[in-house]
Amino acid sequence: MAEINVDVLVIGAGPTGLGAAKRLNQINGASWLIVDSTETPGGLASTDVTPEGFLYDVGGHVIFSHYKYFDECIDEALPKEGDWYTHQRISYVRYKGLWVPYPFQNNISMLPKEDQVKCLDGMIDAALEARVSNVKPANFDEWILRMTGVGIADIFMRPYNFKVWAVPTTKMQCQWLGERVAAPDLKTVTKNVVLQKTAGNWGPNATFRFPAHGGTGGIWIAVANTLPKKNTRFGETGTVEKVDAKNKAVTLKDGTVVKYNKLVSTMAVDALAEKIGDQSLIGLTKQLYYSTTHVIGVGLRGERPERIGDKCWLYFPEDNCNFYRATIFSNYSPNNQPAESVKLPTQQLADGSAPASKEPAPGPYWSIMLEVSESSMKPVNRETLLADSIQGLVNTEMLKPTDEIVSTYVRAFDHGYPTPTLEREGALKQLLPKLQDMDIWSRGRFGSWRYEVGNQDHSFMLGVEAVDNILNGSVELTLNYPDFVNGRRNEERHLVDGLQAFGKLKVDESKA
C-alpha cells in the first residue's frame, strides 16, 4: 500500500481547493497535495458540453470580485485580452407578461396601476412600522415585510424566493443577505412611479466578466494548470474513500494513504462527517439544509430573437414556469454554442411537435440555460422536467411554439444551494470548531455552508485564507466577517488583501 506524507492535504479542486493549492504553491514552505474525484477541476463552477457543442455551466456563474488577489490569480491563468468578455448586466423579472427591470422592488413603476398601489401601500406601512420597531427581524420573511411591505412580498419576494430556495421564507434566517437583496428607498420608488421612470443598475455584479472559451469551467482548468502536476491527483486516484481524523490519514480509492498534518476539506461537510464516521459530527450536519439544483439547457437554431436581445439573466416568480432563473448563455460568449457552419438536425419544435424535416442544417444558434430547485418541501417530477421547462419557456414567451430545438441538456446537482435556515448558525458554530480541533479546515460553498460567501471569488479566498490561517495564523476574514468582505469598496481591497496575506490584520475573533 503506497503512502504519501504531506504538511497540508487539500480535498477538492473547485474554486476553494484551488485557492488553497495556489496559496500553498506560492508560499513554497510546506509540502502539499490536492486531490479530487473528477478528472477535470472546477467543482460546482465547472462547465459541460453537449454532443452538439453547446456549453452549459453548473448554474448561472459570472465573475465579479471583492478581492485583488483573486483578480490577479485568474488573470495569471487567463492573461490575454481575448481570453475575456466584459458585459453590463441586463436583467429583468418576468411578471404578468411584462419585463420589469431588476431589482423588482426598485422598479414597481413598471407594474400595472393596481399592483403599484398595492406595493406602495405596503412600503408606506413598512416604513412607518420601521420607525417605531426596536427589534431585529426574526427570519427572512419578517425582513422582507420590514424592508418591502406586504405588497412586494406577496407579488415577488415570497414566491420567487420559494422557487429559488425550495423552502418558505419563514424558515430562513436573514444574516446571509448583505449585498444580495436590494432594500428599496420609498422616496425614490414613489418618485419613479409618478414620473414613470425605472431605476438604474444595482448590485456588485452590474458589470461582470466571462471567459471567451470553455465557459466558467475554463477558468478553473486554467488555474489548475498553473499548479505543478506532481502535487495533483485528479480522477480515480484522487477519490477519497475514508478520512481517519484521529490518525490524520486519508485513504484514496486506489489504496494510497495520504498522511497529513493539516487538512483543508472542500467536500460538503455532511459528506465529510460521513467519511470521518463521527456520530456527533453527523448529528450536527443533520441540522443543515440544502436544495438540489437542476440545470436545463436548450439549444436553438436561428438568429437570436429581438425579444431576447442582450438580456443576461432573468427571474421568474410566477407559477407559469418551473424555473426561477433563465440565463441567455449564448450572450456571454459566441463560443458557448456551435459555429453557424455546423449542421445539426432539429430534435423537436418548442411546442413538442416533430419538425417537418430532421435533415441536418446550419445555424446560427443561440441557447438558454434554466435553473430549477428541488427539496423535500418542493418536489420535482424529474421524468417531465425537460418538457415542463420547455413549456415554461413558451408560457413566458421566451420561445415561440415553432422555434427549432437542436440540443437539450439536463443535469441534477444534488447539493445546489446551502440553505441559510434558522438552525444553520447554531450547527455551524459547533461543527466547524469541532473539525478544526481535529486539524480539519472545512471550507467552501458546502464545506463551510455559508451562502453569503459562496460566490467564486469568496470560495477561492476561503481556501487562500484557510492556508494563511494554517501557516501564518492569519484571520479568516471571508469565513468570519462576510459583511465586512462584501461591504468594502474596491479601493479598499488592496490594503486589506495585503494586510491579510501577511497576517497583520488584527480582528476581534470573539465576534466570529
C-alpha distances in Å from residue 419, one per residue of 126, 252, 309, 322, 366: 26, 30, 33, 19, 32
Model-level pTM? Answer: 0.90
pLDDT tens, position by position, 159-191: 999 999 999 999 999 877 654 455 567 777 888
Which phi and psi (to 5°) does residue 65 adopt? Answer: -130, 145
Map grid coordinates 441538456 to a residue.
Answer: 409
Residues 6 or more apart whose CB falls under 8 angstroms from that of 114 comprise none
What span, in angstroms and rounded, lies between the C-alpha atoms of 506 and 500? 9
Give the pLDDT confidence score for residue 200 in this predicted structure: 60
- Which regions of the chain carry the CATH code 3.50.50.60? 3-83+210-288+421-511
Give the pLDDT confidence score for residue 281 in this predicted structure: 97
Give the pLDDT confidence score for residue 199 in this predicted structure: 67
Interstrand relation of 404-419 and 348-349 (parallel, antiparallel or unpaired): antiparallel
Give the pLDDT confidence score for residue 198 in this predicted structure: 73
Map grid coordinates 479530487 to a residue.
Answer: 36
What span, in angstroms and rounded, lies between the C-alpha atoms of 458 and 486? 9
- Which regions of the chain carry the CATH code 3.90.660.20? 290-419
**Domain at 290-419, CATH class:** alpha beta
Give the pLDDT confidence score for residue 490 in this predicted structure: 41
pLDDT tens, position by position, 99-151: 999 888 888 999 999 999 999 999 999 888 877 877 888 899 999 998 889 99
Give the pLDDT confidence score for residue 183 in this predicted structure: 59
Interstrand relation of 289-301 and 313-315 (parallel, antiparallel or unpaired): unpaired
Give the helix ranges, DSSP H, for 251-396: 269-276, 279-285, 385-395
Map grid coordinates 407579488 to a residue.
Answer: 155
CATH topology for 3-83+210-288+421-511? FAD/NAD(P)-binding domain (3.50.50)
Beta strands in 230-386 (DSSP E): 232-234, 240-244, 249-252, 257-265, 289-301, 313-315, 325-327, 348-349, 365-374
Give the pLDDT confidence score for residue 278 in this predicted structure: 95
pLDDT per residue as tens, the chain (512 positions): 699 999 999 999 999 999 999 999 999 789 999 999 999 999 999 999 999 999 999 877 777 788 999 999 999 999 998 999 988 888 899 999 999 998 888 889 999 999 999 999 999 998 888 778 778 888 999 999 988 899 999 999 999 999 999 999 999 998 776 544 555 677 778 887 887 777 665 555 577 889 999 999 999 999 999 999 999 999 999 999 999 999 999 999 999 999 999 999 999 999 999 999 999 999 999 999 999 999 999 999 999 999 898 888 899 999 999 999 999 999 999 999 999 999 999 999 999 999 999 999 999 999 999 999 999 999 999 999 999 999 999 999 999 999 999 999 999 999 999 999 999 999 999 999 999 999 999 999 999 999 999 899 999 999 999 999 999 999 999 999 988 888 754 444 444 454 444 444 444 433 33
